Amino acid sequence: MCQLFGLSCNTASSVTVAFTGLSARGGRTGEHSDGFGLAFHDGVGCRLFIDENRASDSALAVFLRRLPIRAGTVLAHVRKATQGPVQLANCHPFLREWGGRYWSFCHNGNLLDFSPRLNGIHLPVGNTDSERAFCWLLQQLRERFRTRPAEGWRAFAPVLAELADQIARFGTFNFLLSDGQALYAYCGTQLSWLRRAHPFPVAQLVDDDLILDLRAANNPNDRMVLVATDPLTRNEPWSAFEPGPLRVFVRGDEVWPGAAEPTAQLLAERTNPVRRRLAATA
Amino acid sequence: MCQLFGLSCNTASSVTVAFTGLSARGGRTGEHSDGFGLAFHDGVGCRLFIDENRASDSALAVFLRRLPIRAGTVLAHVRKATQGPVQLANCHPFLREWGGRYWSFCHNGNLLDFSPRLNGIHLPVGNTDSERAFCWLLQQLRERFRTRPAEGWRAFAPVLAELADQIARFGTFNFLLSDGQALYAYCGTQLSWLRRAHPFPVAQLVDDDLILDLRAANNPNDRMVLVATDPLTRNEPWSAFEPGPLRVFVRGDEVWPGAAEPTAQLLAERTNPVRRRLAATA
């Protein structure tokens, strides 16, 4: 199994602190030492970093814990191999282009006997169940949408929700997916999330002594959603996902299947701290 | 216009010294300061690093000049924008998957009115002539080969040569392409190459005071081909390509359109230093 992390925010943000916590699980505080990767979606561009070395002490991980690369959506993964040997081609996130956008995908879980028919448009390069699932998801999206629809995530969300449920029948399937516009998160068994907005706290990592004063790092209008296999901070109100359905985050708001007007909802919650607190710790 | 660099070798090698020279052209010794990128093909896996900042002083470039990432085939590019603004999505190398392999591509030149029909299998994410050319090349390969042929580069080379000639009618077109198996190099106007083998020299960079003792860095059986827009070292016998046709390098040997038996050819040349010297400086 693996550790997932995702970020969606309305102001491009860095993940140096979150990745400091996550990467510790790649060999120091956790046994997920079979590689790691991050995808930074910056507009339509995407920076992908993958490495088959331990996230806790790989030179690339050391570099990425220090360099504040800012992005609107970030996916990260530290791997504990279940299917496929420890090698570069099996590191998540996987990246493909469809419809003039880069799509990134990472998975926590184990799919048994998942061998869907792949028509060759997207094929796995490595040999994980995860990459097969990603290729099949994109193939299905292509079959439903001949071109990228103008509605973007509004069109994709119900289709992806249905496809995710189909794959989840084959085993443990928690995943994060992004095309730079939205962060899609699916909980088969285990995933938590947190929404950060003003007033920002001082965050204390679970896996490291590091403390970050988010008040100084963010502006009052900034908001972001963090998703992780296990909560990364010890003093913030992380909430466990219920298994299924797919959830979608855009620019730091949950937009599906919940609120039709996320910004209005957020504003309403801001005027009612008690309700926000209850919602965030539910 | 831009600066290209490619490496093909029989033993996975690092490019820290070559990239030290190349990246200096990204703002210090050259005007190519609109981003850069490297693709390291390691088996079937591929590490891609791209950045829209100046290669001469970007934090990522500083890191990559120090970290000896070893790979069998490497592509690198420092950009001077002609078409498409300075942004991450326009940085080379571009990366796509076809046939279960990652393909990377970078271009030096300028294609005018090159707007081929793209069927949607591969679409540009950014807005450069270069990415359009890459998408069209892969689309054409898909149309000629429904699946990846067992012959690999032997099947691809004549087709790519023909396709490259077609694109070159639209303007300046020098490119490097790799699927991890082969390095394809096409010279429309300007490209040089160098073959290194035992006995290795002490290399002196053109763009930096750095000197590298290749005798200590390599074993007697190591061999490699370097391709660059302009020679990177001042004391080695770089040769200018003749414009066209496509040339193909595999594991440090030129395999097409020249020798059918590259290893036998190389062995013959090693027994005749004069001939090798003449060949390498021709």
Assembly ipTM: 0.91
Q: Distance between CA A112 and CA A141 in Å, rounded?
A: 23
Query: Which CATH number belongs to the domain containing residue B125 in this structure?
Result: 3.60.20.10
Interchain proximity A99–B88, CB inside 8 Å: no
Residues of B with catalytic function: 2
Helices marked H in A29-148: 59-66, 129-144
| CB B194, CB B236: distance < 8 Å | yes
Q: Determine whether the interchain pair A45/B123 forms a contact, defined as Cβ–Cβ distance below 8 Å.
A: no
Which residues are CB-neighbours of B167 under 8 A, at least 6 positions away?
Answer: B111, B114, B133, B136, B137, B173
User: Tokens for A225?
Assistant: 């959603």
Please tell me the pTM assigned to this model: 0.91
Q: Which of B43, B44, B88 sits opposite A45 (nearest CB)?
A: B88
Q: Are A37 and A104 in contact (CB under 8 A)?
A: no
Among candidates A50, A59, A25, A40, which has minimal Cα distance to A228? A25
Q: Which of A49, A63, A105, A178 to mutate to test the interface with B (most CBs of B within 10 A)?
A: A63
Q: Splitting chain B (282 residues) into consecutive groups of 10 residues, what average pLDDT does each group show?
A: 95 96 94 96 97 97 97 97 94 98 98 97 98 98 97 98 98 98 98 97 94 92 98 96 95 83 44 35 20
Give the per-residue pLDDT at B277. 31
Q: What is the pLDDT of residue B267?
A: 46
Q: Is A249 part of a structural domain of the chain?
A: yes
Distance from CA of B51 to the nearest CA of A (A): 8
Residues of A in contact with B149 (CB under 8 A): none
Residue B100 is nearest to which of A43, A60, A124, comparing CB atoms?
A: A124
- Domain membership of residue A208 (yes or no) is yes
Q: Checking DSSP bridges between strand B192-197 and strand A211-213, what pairing results, if any?
A: unpaired
A282 to chain B, closest Cα gap in Å: 39
Which residue bears the tokens 């570069």? A88
In a domain, residue A224? The reply is yes
Q: Show residues of chain B in contact with A50, CB under 8 Å.
A: 45, 47
- Per the structure, the count of domains in chain B is 1
| Residue B7 belongs to domain spanning | 3-281
At B182 the pLDDT is: 98
Residues 6 or more apart in contact with residue B220 via CB below 8 angstroms: B198
- The whole-angstrom separation of Cα B34 and Cα B56 is 10
* Number of residues assigned to chain B: 282
Q: Are A39 and A77 in contact (CB under 8 A)?
A: no
Q: Name which of B36, B40, B44 to mutate to probe chain A: the one with the most chain A Cβ atoms within 10 A of its Cβ.
A: B44
Q: Residue A249: name the closest of A193, A174, A166 by CA.
A: A193
Contacts of B12 in chain A (CB under 8 A): none
Residue A250 lies in a domain: yes
Q: Tell me the shortest Cα–Cα distance from A134 to chain B, in angstroms.
A: 13
State the best of A14, A46, A47, A57 to mutate against chain B, taking most chain B CBs within 10 Å: A47
Which residue does chain A place closest to B100, by CA atoms? A125
Q: What is the pLDDT of residue B258?
A: 67
Give the Cα separation of B44 and A162 in Å (integer): 32
Across the interface, whether the CB atoms of B125 and A48 are under 8 A apart is answered no
Q: What tens-digit pLDDT sequence spans chain A (282 residues)? A: 799 999 999 999 999 999 999 999 999 999 999 999 999 999 999 999 999 999 999 999 999 999 999 999 999 999 999 999 999 999 999 999 999 999 999 999 999 999 999 999 999 999 999 999 999 999 999 999 999 999 999 999 999 999 999 999 999 999 999 999 999 999 999 999 999 999 999 999 999 999 989 999 899 999 999 999 999 999 999 999 999 889 999 999 999 996 444 444 444 444 444 333 332 221
Give me the DSSP letters along A165-231: HHHHTTEEEEEEEE-SS-EEEE-SS--EEEEEESSP-EEEBSSSS-EEEHHHHS-TT-EEEEEESS-
Closest-CA residue to A109 (of A142, A144, A79): A79
What dihedral angle (degrees, nearest 10) is formed by the CA atoms of A116, A117, A120, A121? -70
Contact between B99 and A123 using a beta-carbon 8 Å cutoff? yes
* Dihedral of alpha carbons B105, A71, A109, A168, sign: negative
Closest residue to B59, CB basis, from A67, A121, A125: A67
Q: Which of A88, A95, A96 sits opposite B43 (nearest CB)?
A: A88
